[in-house]
Structure 1
Amino acid sequence: MKRLSGLVALTLLLLLPFAYAKAASPDPAALFEAKTVSERNRALAALEAAAPSDPASAYAAGAGEFFTALEILASGLHRHGFESPQSFMLPLMRVPVPDHPSPEPLTYEKFRAILIAFRDRLEKSAATLGSVPADADIGMVVDLAHAGIDLNEDGNIAPDESIAAIMASLSRGVDASDAAPSLAFRFDRADGFWLQGYAEFLMAQADFWLAHDFRAMFDGSFHMLFPHAKLPLQDALVPPDGGMSGSIFASEWRFADFISLVHLVNWPVIEPERRKAARRHLLEMIRLSREDWKAIRAETDND
């Protein structure tokens, strides 16, 4: 009898870690419903810790890392008083960053540092999403009107900083306040391939910029993007009132500086490995696109 009770006790002890691991699996909703950056970061850290043994946690963590990469870029631009050109010709510069009342001075070195931090966070996201098995059964409902990033560095994730609001502001003629009150989607394995591919696409852009010395273009034209960040030609070329409303093509002086920007694209290569990396990222994006379509065609649900 004692031997039997001992075996039962041993079995319970052996099963306890598995039961605990299952109970301790973090809820992705805590990440996507967080109202503050500190709440979001705690939820993301828990998902990252669970990611090696839980595909659903890895999937959510990779998505969280992708959006925090966008936050790194947006907050860095906001800090220096970025004014979006609203132009498809500068895709990395279309982030809808709110106005800053007293921006910090910006230098070429600080701008490169923002790009590096953005790019490195995207790399982490791509690696995390890449760790999810191709055949993992993923079904994650996220309301894009609740999930968001901190655009103005106040530590909060407000309704006008939601992914839905950002998508609305990127659409021509649509104000962020017009974003839908609810925009829920069920994301599956195919969507993970898509997001991973998009991370590779953005890394390619960042690495291409970083591979070159674009200081002359920065000093000669970036005051049109950062009109109050103490760039070299600010006092000479930026109108006293800023004149920043609308797109590049709606502002005479910004359009003139955009022409200067184009003519200053004569960038010496300073990090050739980054040029090679940019090509690899684009090739990986193509591979992931094919994996995405393979996963889409294999779906049998109607979600």
Structure 2
Amino acid sequence: MRYKILLVMISGIFLQAMQHAGAAPLAEEYLTQGKLTEGAEAIRSELKKSPENDEARFGLGVIQFFQSFEHLGSSLYDNGLRVRGAFGNLPGPLSNILTQNPDPETVSYADVRQIIQTWVNDLNEAEKTLSAVKDSDVKLPLHVGLIKVDLFGTGKPVSAEFLLGQMGSPAQQQAAEKFLIRFDRGDADWLAGYCNFLCAWGEVLLAVDGQEMFNCTAHLFFEKVETPYLFLMEGSRNLNDLRRFDRPLISDILAFIHLWRFELKEPDRMKVALSHLEDMQQHAKSMWKHYLAETDNENEWIPNPQQTGVLEIEVTQEMVDTWLAVLDETGLVLQGKKLIPFWRGTPGTQGVNLRRVFTEPREIDPFLWFQGTAAAPYLEKGTITDFATPEMWGRINNTFGRRNFFTMAFWFN
């Protein structure tokens, strides 16, 4: 009798485990409904009850990542981002999605900085959550084509499946409906790395003082702008009018280009940006450690050489080895141990210490950087990065193809 009871108990536990394994993750329920706020709250409650549940934690990180773009889109909509006003009439399907706020707020430069700061804060929160995923066997299966996100602040979340139904073919729509990716531990690092990459750019934008550029050109991007030059909003702001050689509009665009010279408003943010880039590089190395340790082959986002990915792009060991060499070299450049070759003067005699660009920031002027004079404070004698050698680029081109490297880099992170 005791054996029968024990057998029933074991069977019950086994069936319960099988049901749990086959169930869709909690995150997918909310992602596919476009209810990100409710989903984040539900998963936080779940993690309070089961703090070891890394599937839930991974799902929360994904939701937080998408929330960062929802909040960004909502803020831009509320502040009157000029979508139709800038480009005129959009194609039918896009016009239903990219709507413009008919009664926006008047936006100031401080408002724009706050929008960027909120975006960075959201991404930092997502990165923190994703970095806390430790279970090497974690899985997060998601039908990514059905994930709904309100990217444009209209209160109407849309999915890739919906967009393809509007603008693609029926076959593409059906493929999007069935597109399943089983994200794993390495993918948590992949997404965390992208959070760091985006945060780095956000910190750079907040480091500089863009007040003058905003005063002179923000009317091209927002409907109502707090600027001392109110007359700028009286003329045409539709970019389609460039075809009619609209002189005021052309002068606005020239002013925008001319004002690409930024004093620093919060220079310490450049160091924060550097730390994000360093964290991104570490996540990229960590993700490949986990990818290479995998022995399964289930709807992989980025496969190892023994797996087949959902994108059906073959990843060879040579590609992995070359990419890891690229990551190592990137780390040495970020640490200041290797220099970027200087493009003026005698080749190979000195280079730019990229790390000092962030730790000892100065006024940012892209045109003077292109000329070379802005790089002068950071010139040093030392070891030039292998990125400057024909051997490294020959290896990269032979491995990835001359035109495919940057596409693969975007995918590989």
Contact 1:75 1:153 in 2 (8 A): yes
Q: CA RMSD in A?
A: 3.5
The Cα shift of 1:78 comes to: 1.2
Partner deviation per Cα, 1:238-291 (whole Å, 9 max, x = no partner): 645x42469x99996766534422321222222222110001101111111111
Q: 2:263 maps to which residue?
A: 268
Q: Cα–Cα, structure 1 residues 58 and 37, in superposed 2: closer, same or farther, change >3 Å?
A: closer
Match of 1:225 among 198, 221, 225: 221
Distance 1:250 1:48 in 2: 59
Partner of 1:294: helix, strand, or coil?
A: helix
Paired-residue identity, %: 26
In structure 2, what is the equivalent of residue 202 of structure 1? 198
Counterpart of 1:211 in structure 2 is 207
Which letter maps to 1:141?
P
The change in CA–CA distance for 1:118 and 1:57 in structure 2 (over 3 A counts) is same
- Tell me the number of residue pairs that the alignment of Structure 1 and Structure 2 aligns: 259
1:102 CA drift (Å): 2.2
Gaps of 5+ in 2: 1-16, 88-96, 300-413
Aligned to 2:121: 120
Amino acid in the other structure paired with 1:68: Q
Structure 1 contact 47–58 (Cα < 8 Å) conserved: no
CA separation in 2, counterparts of 1:47 and 1:231?
44
SS of alignment partner, residue 101 of structure 1: coil
- Of 142, 156, 159, which aligns to 1:162? 159
Correspondence for 1:90: none
- TM superposition score normalised by structure 1: 0.72
Aligned counterparts of 1:289 and 1:250: Cα–Cα separation in 2:
48
Within 5 A, what are the aligned runs for 1:103-252? 103-133=104-134, 135-153=135-153, 155-157=155-157, 161-162=158-159, 177-178=167-168, 180=173, 181-182=176-177, 183-226=179-222, 228-232=223-227, 233=229, 235-236=231-232, 239-240=235-236, 242-244=237-239
Determine the C-alpha separation between the residues in 1 that align with 2:33 and 2:210.
38
SS of 1:52's equivalent in the other structure is coil
Q: What is the 5 A alignment of 1:70-109?
A: 70-83=69-82, 98-109=99-110
Looking at CA atoms only, which structure, 1 or 2, has the larger radius of gyration? 2
1:145 Cα deviation from its structure 2 partner: 2.8
* SS at structure 2 position matched to 1:141: strand
| 1:66–1:121 contact (8 Å) kept in structure 2 | yes
The structural deviation recorded for 1:107 is 0.5
Structure 1 residues 294 and 249, CA, compared in 2 at 3 Å: closer, same or farther?
A: farther
Structure 1 position 176, deviation (Å): 6.6
Distance 1:108 1:60, change over 3 A: same
User: For residue 39 of structure 2, what is the aligned residue in structure 1?
Assistant: 40
- Residues 65, 37 of structure 1: CA spacing in aligned structure 2 closer, same or farther, 3 A cutoff? closer
- How far apart, in 2, do the equivalents of 1:145 and 1:279 lie? 34
Structure 1: gaps spanning 5 or more residues: 1-18, 87-95, 169-174
Contact 2:30–2:36 (Cα < 8 Å) also in 1: no
CA–CA distance in 2 between the matches of 1:97 and 1:40? 25
Deviations 1:108-165 (A, max 9, x none): 11111111111011111111100111x52122221223212223545453xxx22566
Q: Using a 3 Å threshold, how does the CA distance of structure 1 residues 251 and 109 change in structure 2: closer, same or farther?
A: farther
* CA contact 1:200–1:282 (8 Å) conserved in 2: yes
Whole-Å separation in 2 of the counterparts to 1:239 and 1:278: 38
Is the 1:191–1:292 Cα contact (8 Å) retained in structure 2? Answer: yes
Relative contact order (C-alpha < 8 Å, sep 6+): which is higher? 1
**Deviation, structure 1 residue 38:** 5.3
Partner amino acid for 1:216?
A: E
The reply to whether residue 299 of structure 1 matches residue 300 of structure 2 is: no
